[in-house]
Amino acid sequence: MDRPYDVFDDRCPTRLVLDRLADKWSLLLLDRLDAGPVRFNQLRRDIRGLSQKVLSQTLKRLERDGLVERTVRPTVPVSVDYALTPLGRTLTDTVAAFAHWAERNMDAVIAAQTAYDTALAG
């Protein structure tokens, strides 16, 4: 079969999707949602440094792309939780791999940075 989509082509629509996914907040959100449905303010608390505005924007985009599902429960006051769709769930392994990579290889990265910087200074 031929390749209908190619991320290396800047006119390919996959670029737009890649642009959304290749985002710090999107990755952290998808990773956090893997454990199960989470409510809005809980996400805000869990993902440190994520402002309410950006959280709202990012969730909306992920929902539009079909990765996240928004559920409103008619309590008083209203409660909303976010969960991964089946489509979104196909990404969690990859997303988790990313986060795990940073945490597991941080020391190697720091070492490389130090070596790089001292090589310039020397």
Give the interface with DNA as residue ranges (CB under 7 A): 23-25, 39-42, 49-54, 56-57, 59-60, 70, 77-82
Cα–Cα distance measured from residue 8 to residue 15, given in angstroms and rounded to the nearest whole number: 8
Cα–Cα distance measured from residue 98 to residue 92, given in angstroms and rounded to the nearest whole number: 10
DSSP string, 36-72: S-EEHHHHHHHSTT--HHHHHHHHHHHHHTTSEEEEE
In the complex with DNA, the residue whose CB is nearer, 90 or 115, is 115
Q: Which partner, a copy of itself, DNA, none, binds residue 2 by CB below 5 to 8 Å per kind?
A: none
- Encoded one letter per residue, x for contact with a copy of itself by CB under 8 A and - for no contact, window 60-99 reads ---xxxxx-------------------x--xx-xx--xxx
